[in-house]
Amino acid sequence: MPFGKESHDELLKMVEGKSLKVLVYTENRYGRCVGDIYCNGKFVQEVMLKKGLAWHYLAYDKRPELAKARFYQWENEAKQKRIGLWAAKNPEKPWEWRKNKRGGN
């Protein structure tokens, strides 16, 4: 997927070999834990969103509006700066990219 390698590499650089704290707030439809990840006091999702290396996937985040607003703010900052995946003219959402790949498109 476009920008997948850059995102993967940055995430590894941030967390590889380190202790993580995961605050699980729900399970997805497949029974997988969904939560917030912290590494050395840093909120991993915040770092990735601000660097333009991740999307906030609202479908799995059913928390109150205040929490969602933070994620949008971080994502919008990266969009405005046109950094990371937001440097592309029409970035494709990862869940849509996977759906298109499964469909043979």
According to the model, what pLDDT value does residue 69 have?
78
Domains plus CATH for the chain? 4-102 (2.40.50.90)
In angstroms, the CA 4 to CA 17 distance is 21
- pLDDT, residue 104, reads 54
Q: For residue 50, count other CB atoms closer than 10 A to its CB.
A: 18
State whether residue 18 is helix, strand or coil.
coil
What SS3 state is found at 14?
Answer: helix
The per-residue pLDDT for 67 is 65
Residue 2 has pLDDT above 80, yes or no: no
